[in-house]
Structure 1
Amino acid sequence: MMVDVCIIGSGAGAGPIAYELSNAGFDVVVLEKGKNYTEQDFNKDELGVCRRDMFTPKLEDEFHIINEVQDDGSVKRYDGREYGWSFWNGSMVGGSSNLMSGYFHRLKPNDFKLKTVYGEIEGSNVVDWPISYEDMEPYYAKVEQVVGVSGKVVNHSFQEPRSTANFPYPELQTNGVTRWFDKACEALGYDVMPTPRAILSYDALSRKGCFYSNFCGSYGCASGAKGSSRAALLQKCKAKVITDAFVYRLESDAKRVTKAYYKTRLGVPHVIEAKIFVVAAQAIESSRLLLNSKNKFFPNGLANSSGEVGKNLIFSAGGSGSGRFVFEKLTQEQQRELMQVGVFFNRSLQDWYEYDKDGKKTKGGTIDFLFEHQNIIPRVMREVYDDNGELLWGDDLAKKVQKRLTTSRVLTFEVFNDWLPTDKCFVSIDKEAKDKYGMPVGVINLYGHPQDLKVGEHLAKKAVKILEELGCEEIDYSISSSPPPNLVAGGCRFGNDARTSVLDKNCKAHDLQNLYVTDASFMPTGGSVPYTWTIYANSFRVANVIKKALEV
């Protein structure tokens, strides 16, 4: 089969390419390893989704090797199968965008010039981006319209410039407790902002509005309100999506990729030829594919003359915390507001996106506040011990669970700050371990820079002050260098110098005339927000570049 464009993967980095180019009349094929689900297939089966990995590969079939740098500098090797350590986050049409919570924050102008603004940090590989916020802004705005972003723009100290005055869709309904939160932040001198969400607040774009089940993260959206690549783009374009298609190798000559080889889950081989190839398989897997596609022209891996494929892998640094409202201390009206079901909390702070530390300007981050997830299993597991740490049984356990679930609510926060790129965090290929397709598995070499923890601690302590102002009890938090598998980027960073980057500023491989990488792999630094909006925006930007190349 010969097509104009072959896209490997179908998530946020792939959807805009398929949407723009197929609707412009080009012959586009999307190769997706997983299944194609629709809104009718999604439910709130906590056991299936969270305990049995309904949407991710079985680790005995597909796994990673993890090498983790220890505090003493030694490296500990983990086999993902043995330790249950999974870095898969959505193997289906639309990828992990189906399972996101949809917290959509733009990068700030300074995120595009981290090295220039904040300087070098010892032990890290911080660089400026080859494009600016101004280059990306029109595409952030396009995502708001095409994918659908709801919210309300408010003035705050780090509000980024916008070409439109507000979001195209009004903010989602919120719990009455947000008013208490806003007052608490006002008393502390903090600027609160409604959290923008890639969730439609009413029926639009041929999709239903939010059903307010409050099961967003880890779950597919049964209404189609969530702006996944599948619901917002792939279901509305003319691209041909081939499922059960694991791409294990790309073939090339010295200048161009010529073929993509893929297998079905039963091992049946297929091949596709295309004028242009776009890799968007998720940061870890995209690097793995390129490294497994080495040939006589690229003995160290496809597009890897620089030796940079897989390098400078990043995640999102930070952590989380929580506090519990004391029901007995609230008025009846406050109790009623607290226990409202379904509606969101949706509050964020970026007061410390940048702050001074020891007389030096320091890059900070974002704090998102939300109620604890509706998942019943972890909520109940919080209650299995009494005040003395003894395991509860029978009626005592039942009474405590019933009271906590009906007269109590936990407010949580998530901290997002930069995971600094380093030489110690990268993707490589294992020499021995292979997956069910017979391909060498990816090795995830993990290391978190100490600066990540310092910034995370600074932000978490600010969040704790708000919980204290609200009168919460049982307040705690955790900031660690444990990577969130659903927030991964880097490995094929873009840049102007072919010696130190894999891709040019338009995400085309320096080494090849027709290979692009458009998932989060391109990002040299991640900013202090979730990545999805930026991946979408960049993919729309690159789609324009590819369109012009095809029109020549």
Structure 2
Amino acid sequence: MIYDVCVIGSGAGAGPIIYELSKAGFKVCVLEKGDIYKRKDFSKDEIATVRRDIYTPSLNEEYHTIEENIDGKWTKFPTYESGWSFWNGNILGGSSNFMSGFFYRLKPNDFKLKTVYGRQKGSNIEDWPIPYEELEPFYDKVEKIVGVSGEVSDYEHQEPRSSKEFPFKPLLEHPIVKHIDKASKQLGFSIVKTPRAILSKDNKHRKSCYYSNYCGSYACSSGAKGSSRESLILPALKTNNVKIIANAFVYKLNTNEDKKIVSVNYYTKDKKSKEIKAKLFVVAAQAVETSRLLLNSKTKEFPNGVANNSSNVGKNFLSTAGGIVSGTFDETNMNLKELLKPGLFVNRAIKDFYFTDEFKGGMIELVFDHANPIKRANSLKWDGSKLLIGEALQNKIYEKFTKTRTLNMEIFVDWTANDNSFISVDEKYKDKYGVPVANIRIGAFKEDIKVSKFLEKKAIALFKQMNAKDINSNISELPAQNLLAGGCRFGDNPKTSVLNKHCQAHEVKNLFVSDASFMPTGGSVPYTFTIYANSFRVAEYIKKHYDKIIS
């Protein structure tokens, strides 16, 4: 069978494509690297979900290599040596199953940072080929279809909206927000109430949030979280136009003499090679894996990898710079019964410093320390250089779990594109299928650390105003492995970009990339909302121009 559309991946970049095209009558084949799970399969078991490779491949079988600049020399090491995993969820719906659901839009100036601030020496920053206004209707669409709960905050940098309010009322908030709001007002900070892709009330086949206290890193058992699987793929399946093939690792895109994709090859779980033919292909495998797939797909027409005759694939990899500032609260600065209430959301952010007159700033998101008891207990085993055991450790754990709570301020800062941040492949390192793995060179831009330090001071000031104890800070140059973008940036110039403004490959007419790979800059927010919105935009273009694309 020759499908109308083949979609590689099923996460946030794939879901809107599957949803929109299947509803329009296209026959869609979805190739998902992982397995298919249902709500009943998801538990809040820390050992199963977080500490073992249940939803991600074992690093002993499938891994990446990392290049870090150590003492002035680029050093490469495989991730199975460190346990540092860049896999974010290989199941139907991808990593959108495990997100915390912070759904912030980019702002108009995020689309034109080069124009607003100029290009700093050593950076490869470029403006987007589209303005905010072109993406705004699709942000609005995501809020309604995927489902976003919240309250629109009035502050200096609030972006224009076509809908005055979010479609779902805010989620229930933890009592600590009273202290955050008071301290912020005293410091002159504006408060932004966090919108989340989590339902505050039942909607169609999905139940509302039940405040389990386990959200980020865990899949949702009620359907409240707006994962691609729950909000888009399940409704798409009702059209009978979608074929999902699970445990399908796509390793090769095949082109013809017209430089069009004619088929893809994938390995089954038992390493058998199979082929799928289609008229149009959409790659949404996650930023690192999308670049890897294109680079590994060497054909007669593309000896350096599909859509890579311009040598742009893999370049300008993005993550998020920043870090975490933590503070402890107990009965001396808050009612203990209120403090220990589980499950309720903090839903507060500081975005006054998202832009400054001199440089692009960032944001601060306030969240409680994760509920994972094993992780929390494990962090208490040291008293300085002394290892605690027995009653001393037991007492420390008891005190920490029953009389205190840790609040974190997560700092999000743009990751500036540069020549030392890219994805490549190395024939020396291969996975269990014999396919070269992705190499991730991590070249942080030094100016990003300065911005992180600037926001760190604001976070510490807020904690001090709240009388927090044990204030600790960790600002890092290392990327957040759950926030990955770039590698196939879109733009008007084929010499400096992989995709055009519609996320269609400049060199391959029937190939689109709809995950975070397309982003020239990432903004100072998590990417998922923007990935969803852009994917809906791409889907609309494909629907309108399908016949012309495949001709």
Q: TM-score range by the shorter chain?
A: over 0.9
Q: Secondary structure at the match of 1:354?
A: coil
Q: CA deviation at 1:201?
A: 0.7
Q: CA deviation at 1:28?
A: 0.4
What does residue 279 of structure 1 align with?
283
What does residue 18 of structure 1 align with?
18
Measure, in 2, the Cα distance between the counterparts of 1:441 and 1:270.
Answer: 20
Q: CA deviation at 1:229?
A: 0.4
Aligned 8 A contact 2:330 2:339 in 1? no
Residue 503 of structure 2 is aligned to residue 507 of structure 1: yes
CA gap of 1:52–1:497, structure 2 versus 1, over 3 A, is same
- Percentage of matched positions with identical amino acids: 53
Residue 414 of structure 2 is aligned to residue 418 of structure 1: yes
What does residue 379 of structure 2 align with?
382
Query: What letter corresponds to residue 338 of structure 1 in structure 2?
Result: L
Measure, in 2, the Cα distance between the counterparts of 1:484 and 1:520.
Answer: 14
What does residue 373 of structure 1 align with?
370
What does residue 242 of structure 1 align with?
245
Aligned 8 A contact 2:114 2:127 in 1? yes
Aligned 8 A contact 2:15 2:93 in 1? yes
Measure, in 2, the Cα distance between the counterparts of 1:69 and 1:252.
Answer: 37
Query: What letter corresponds to residue 266 of structure 2 in structure 1?
Result: Y
Partner deviation per Cα, 1:446-501 (whole Å, 9 max, x = no partner):
11000110111111110111111111010011111111111000000000001110
Residue 483 of structure 2 is aligned to residue 487 of structure 1: yes
Partner deviation per Cα, 1:187-208 (whole Å, 9 max, x = no partner):
0000001111110011113201
Partner deviation per Cα, 1:307-363 (whole Å, 9 max, x = no partner):
100000010111111000132344xxx22221111111110110000124xxxx210
Aligned 8 A contact 2:59 2:85 in 1? yes
What does residue 40 of structure 1 align with?
40
What does residue 62 of structure 1 align with?
62
What does residue 547 of structure 1 align with?
543
Measure, in 2, the Cα distance between the counterparts of 1:175 and 1:85.
Answer: 32
Q: Secondary structure at the match of 1:272?
A: strand
Q: CA deviation at 1:73?
A: 2.6
More displaced stretch, 402-411 vs 281-290: 402-411
CA gap of 1:465–1:246, structure 2 versus 1, over 3 A, is same
More displaced stretch, 253-262 vs 531-540: 253-262
What does residue 344 of structure 2 align with?
343
What does residue 101 of structure 1 align with?
100
Q: CA deviation at 1:551?
A: 4.9
Residue 270 of structure 2 is aligned to residue 269 of structure 1: no
Which blocks of at least 5 consecutive residues in structure 2 are unaligned? none
Q: CA deviation at 1:383?
A: 2.5
Measure, in 2, the Cα distance between the counterparts of 1:455 and 1:39.
Answer: 40
Aligned 8 A contact 2:330 2:336 in 1? no
Alignment length (residue pairs): 543
Measure, in 2, the Cα distance between the counterparts of 1:82 and 1:181.
Answer: 41
Q: 2:443 aligns with which of 443, 447, 460?
A: 447
Query: What letter corresponds to residue 254 of structure 2 in structure 1?
Result: E
Aligned 8 A contact 2:329 2:406 in 1? yes
Q: CA deviation at 1:137?
A: 0.2
Measure, in 1, the Cα distance between the counterparts of 2:330 and 2:538.
Answer: 50
Measure, in 1, the Cα distance between the counterparts of 2:125 and 2:14.
Answer: 26
Q: CA deviation at 1:389?
A: 4.8
What does residue 307 of structure 1 align with?
311
Q: 1:297 aligns with which of 273, 277, 301?
A: 301
Query: What letter corresponds to residue 460 of structure 2 in structure 1?
Result: V
Measure, in 2, the Cα distance between the counterparts of 1:399 and 1:432.
Answer: 50
Which blocks of at least 5 consecutive residues in structure 1 are unaligned? none
Partner deviation per Cα, 1:424-458 (whole Å, 9 max, x = no partner):
11111112111111111111111100011011111
What does residue 189 of structure 2 align with?
190
More displaced stretch, 394-403 vs 462-471: 394-403
Residue 329 of structure 2 is aligned to residue 325 of structure 1: yes
Residue 162 of structure 2 is aligned to residue 163 of structure 1: yes
Measure, in 1, the Cα distance between the counterparts of 2:418 and 2:21.
Answer: 36
Measure, in 1, the Cα distance between the counterparts of 2:209 and 2:547.
Answer: 39
Q: 2:425 aligns with which of 422, 429, 441?
A: 429
Runs (4+) off by over 4 Å: none
Q: Secondary structure at the match of 1:20?
A: helix
Aligned 8 A contact 2:88 2:94 in 1? yes
What does residue 131 of structure 1 align with?
130
Measure, in 1, the Cα distance between the counterparts of 2:183 and 2:333.
Answer: 16
TM-score (norm 1): 0.97
What does residue 252 of structure 1 align with?
255
Partner deviation per Cα, 1:221-267 (whole Å, 9 max, x = no partner):
11111000000101110321110111110000233100011110101
